[in-house]
């Protein structure tokens, strides 16, 4: 398989480019972009060489990465054209194996399996006399393994595509043979959307996507949530908790069946319909993939599958995550590599996802997993003995595979450490992700709200945190993470308003100072993060309108209650509640970006950071962004710098009535520049900036194009 380096030049975030002919063929191309990496060339060369060693080995022994990553086509259960069923399972620690289930009355003697020299067991089951498959669709199934000591254990097949749970019987899942009749199989109707230039990501969890006290379904999400997300202006959905996890309250991060779509939301066909319907709306679908660790479950997971401690995972302490209480993959093992790469291919091919957000990348990158480690930004922290090079190489190989086979694929890394070259292609010595999550930004906002009064906000530090990123590598910014919505923490709106969210969000009651401040800052924080913080933007569902309650999944500690395991979208539909205004602003912000494209433009030029006035002014994508975070002072005839001369008008305004503001700005006002250099810009104009207000100006010549309305609603 050729690498990206051998096929094309590499365009980088911010417009930089390194031509293919100029790239060193040893993984040190990144040094040309960042000379500070020069002392670490040996590390860059080593991980690059190891990745290519893997590619060479797989080419020689498996017929190439393409074939190697199609493990799901051979392992697990497969139905032939004649309705025969072949089952293959890698279990090198087992002595014998048999396929058991409802179809043979769970008899170990009926369908014994043969073991080859690589530890792979297999069996073929001929069709019934009537020509039908001998194992009925959706019937229960397991593999029974004899261990060296003579003990027999039953396991759910590692490559199983559907499992179900009956809590009235047992918390353990049961394997199901998923083989619906042709008429019942979902057929995809829509092509994948092209990769968006700007990523506006809506992070969603199917189960909580309803105001009702229960687990919502794929079909409900398709019917109610997809239109809502589209109308809010998001073009990407990052779907959480799809890979089957035994414990609902784990938020999907304790995966036990990597090839199974969670049955608690519905059938595999229902998930396919969800993805396909989203594609028909032009929405890109990302799967939250968990390859950083696995559930320690034995009865229904991978742990001790063949009776050993080290089949899929490192043995002993190295194979256990002490904080997550989970198992850690052995990324250096040939069959583990096949399993994980095939898992990515499976979700792309079977369910037509468009890419992945890789969970827990920091844990994968380092042998210490980030536990008890504060990353200062010193380059020595990213290279050397603390790095898990086997995991790094796995991610390099995974990204290379995905980008080679799916040109429009999107991969996002959840990394708090700031690993250099994480979001550069393998050709340059990078790990290959397209984006990283800007995890320092939500930490900053929550720290500010917890520790500082409004008048103490450090405007310079806010701007520094929002722009402190590796500019050759793309970043997705977000104001608050889903973790902050969980019990034990608070979302931004809960920090801003606390108990008044329950008493003073009605339009029938006077607007209190707390709600006024909370709504104003909620909008401003979002717009500032959206426009200044990265090359993409992410929002966790419900946070767009300031959801008034935290998340707490049903568990023993809350009497298995669903009261907090839901999102109350109905609050935005009540005309007597103020949540509608925050929802309106979120829509306006996204649709304005969709028209002007600041997320895929060069980084902003900040012309003003005034600590006393609490004013920030910057330009991006030819737009002028103006923020006044002062709690009480409004400014008239405030001079701001603008690079391009002309006449400007307001296209987005946090203070409009539709956004729950006071309508202090006249959006019909035309702002004329004068050729006076101001704040390092060639021109200037004068504006009125009300307290706790932000607005965006566009050149008048651009506003008419496309018929956008002044308030930033849907652009036609």
What are the tens digits of pLDDT across the range 450-477?
Answer: 999 999 999 999 999 999 998 789 999 9
pLDDT at 709: 33
In the annotation, is 359 catalytic?
yes
Asked whether 328 and 359 are in contact (CB, 8 A), the reply is no
Q: Are strands 199-205 and 536-540 parallel, antiparallel or unpaired?
A: parallel
pLDDT at 116: 97
Distance of CA 491 to the CA centre of its chain: 18
**Structural domains in the chain plus CATH codes:** 4-68 (no CATH), 71-184 (2.60.40.10), 199-596 (3.20.20.80), 605-707 (2.60.40.1180)
Helices (H) and strands (E) in the chain, counts: 16, 31
| Low-confidence residues in the chain, pLDDT < 70 | 1-21, 705-716
Angle at 650 between CA 647 and CA 654, to 5 degrees: 160
Asked whether 185 and 105 are in contact (CB, 8 A), the reply is no
Residue 225: what are its φ and ψ, rounded to 5°?
Answer: -85, -40
Out of 270, 300, 359, 593, pick the active-site residue.
359
Length of the chain: 716
Residue 494: what are its φ and ψ, rounded to 5°?
Answer: -70, -35
Residue 576 burial by Cβ neighbours in a 10 Å radius (0-12, 13-18, 19+):
exposed
In the annotation, is 414 catalytic?
yes
Residue 78 to residue 76: CA distance in whole angstroms: 7
Residue 634 to residue 613: CA distance in whole angstroms: 9
pLDDT at 14: 39
Angle at 375 between CA 344 and CA 602, to 5 degrees: 70
Residue 534 to residue 469: CA distance in whole angstroms: 8
Out of 389, 414, 415, 535, pick the active-site residue.
414
pLDDT at 269: 98
Residue 423 burial by Cβ neighbours in a 10 Å radius (0-12, 13-18, 19+):
buried
Model pLDDT for residues 673-708, shown as the tens digit of each residue: 999 999 999 999 999 999 999 999 999 999 974 433
- Supply 369's token pair: 């997993």
Model pLDDT for residues 554-588, shown as the tens digit of each residue: 988 898 899 999 999 999 999 999 999 999 999 99
Asked whether 93 and 308 are in contact (CB, 8 A), the reply is yes
User: Which long-range contacts link 430-433 to residues 24+ away (Cβ below 8 Å)?
Assistant: 430/30, 430/396, 431/392, 431/395, 431/396, 431/399, 432/395, 432/396, 432/398, 432/399, 432/400, 432/403, 433/358, 433/395, 433/399
pLDDT at 21: 64
Residue 656 to residue 709: CA distance in whole angstroms: 13
């Amino acid at each position: 398989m050729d690498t990206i380096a051998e096929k094309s030049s590499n365009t980088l975030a911010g417009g930089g480019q390194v031509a293919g002919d100029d790239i060193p063929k040893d993984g040190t191309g990144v040094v040309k972009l960042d000379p500070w990496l020069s002392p670490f060339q040996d590390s860059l060369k080593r991980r690059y060489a190891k990745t290519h060693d893997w590619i060479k080995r797989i080419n020689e022994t498996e017929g190439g990465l393409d074939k190697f990553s199609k493990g799901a086509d051979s392992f697990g259960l497969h139905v032939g054209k004649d309705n025969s069923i072949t089952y293959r399972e890698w279990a090198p620690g087992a002595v014998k194996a048999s396929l058991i289930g409802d179809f043979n009355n769970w008899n170990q003697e009926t369908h014994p399996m043969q073991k080859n020299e690589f530890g792979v067991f297999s069996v073929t089951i001929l069709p019934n006399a009537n020509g039908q498959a001998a194992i009925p669709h959706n019937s229960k199934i397991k593999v029974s393994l004899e261990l060296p000591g003579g003990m027999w254990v039953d396991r759910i097949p590692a490559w199983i595509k559907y499992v179900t749970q009956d809590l009235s019987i047992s918390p353990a899942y049961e394997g199901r043979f998923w083989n619906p009749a042709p008429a019942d199989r979902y057929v995809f109707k829509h092509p994948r959307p092209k990769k968006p230039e700007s990523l506006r990501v809506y992070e969603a969890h199917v189960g909580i996507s309803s105001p009702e006290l229960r687990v919502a379904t794929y079909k409900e999400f398709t019917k109610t949530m997809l239109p809502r997300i589209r109308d809010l202006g998001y073009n990407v959905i990052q779907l959480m908790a799809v890979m089957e996890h035994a414990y609902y309250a784990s938020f999907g991060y304790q995966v036990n069946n990597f090839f199974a779509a969670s049955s608690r939301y519905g059938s595999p066909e229902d998930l396919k319909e969800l993805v396909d319907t989203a594609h028909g709306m032009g929405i890109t679908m990302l799967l939250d993939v968990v390859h950083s660790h696995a559930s320690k479950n034995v009865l229904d997971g991978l742990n001790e599958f063949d009776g050993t401690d080290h089949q899929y995972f490192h043995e002993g302490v190295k194979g256990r995550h002490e904080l997550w209480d989970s198992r850690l993959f052995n990324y250096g093992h040939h069959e583990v590599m096949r399993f994980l790469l095939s898992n990515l291919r499976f979700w792309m091919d079977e369910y037509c996802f468009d890419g992945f957000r890789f969970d827990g990348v920091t844990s994968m990158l380092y042998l210490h997993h980030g536990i008890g480690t504060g990353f200062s930004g010193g380059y020595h922290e990213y290279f050397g003995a603390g790095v898990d090079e086997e995991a790094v190489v796995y991610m390099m190989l995974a990204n290379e595979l995905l980008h080679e086979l799916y040109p429009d694929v999107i991969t996002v890394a959840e990394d708090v450490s700031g690993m250099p070259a994480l979001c550069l292609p393998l050709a340059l010595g990078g790990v290959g992700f397209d984006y990283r999550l800007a995890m320092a930004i939500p930490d900053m906002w929550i720290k500010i709200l917890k520790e500082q009064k409004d008048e103490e906000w450090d405007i310079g530090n806010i701007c520094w945190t929002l722009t402190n990123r590796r500019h050759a590598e793309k970043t997705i910014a977000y104001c608050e993470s889903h973790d902050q919505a969980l019990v034990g923490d608070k979302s931004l709106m809960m920090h801003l308003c606390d108990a008044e969210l329950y008493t003073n969000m009605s339009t029938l009651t006077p607007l209190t100072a707390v709600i006024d401040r909370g709504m104003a800052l909620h909008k401003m924080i979002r717009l500032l993060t959206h426009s200044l913080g990265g090359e993409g933007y992410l929002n966790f569902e419900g946070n767009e309108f300031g959801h008034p309650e935290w998340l707490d999944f049903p568990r023993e500690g809350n009497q298995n209650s669903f009261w907090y395991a839901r999102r109350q979208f109905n609050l935005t539909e009540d005309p007597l509640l103020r949540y509608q205004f925050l929802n309106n602003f979120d829509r306006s912000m996204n649709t304005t970006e969709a028209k002007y494209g600041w997320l895929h433009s060069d980084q902003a030029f900040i012309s003003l950071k005034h600590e006393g006035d609490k004013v920030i002014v910057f330009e991006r994508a030819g737009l002028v962004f103006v923020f006044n975070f002062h709690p009480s002072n409004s400014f008239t005839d405030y001079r701001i710098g603008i690079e391009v001369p002309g006449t400007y008008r307001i296209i987005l305004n946090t203070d409009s009535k539709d956004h729950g503001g006071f309508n202090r700005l006249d959006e019909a006002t035309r702002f004329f520049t004068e050729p006076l250099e101001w704040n390092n810009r060639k021109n200037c104009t004068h504006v009125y900036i009300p307290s706790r207000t932000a607005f965006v100006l566009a050149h008048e010549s651009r506003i008419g194009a496309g018929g956008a309305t002044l308030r930033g609603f849907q652009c036609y």
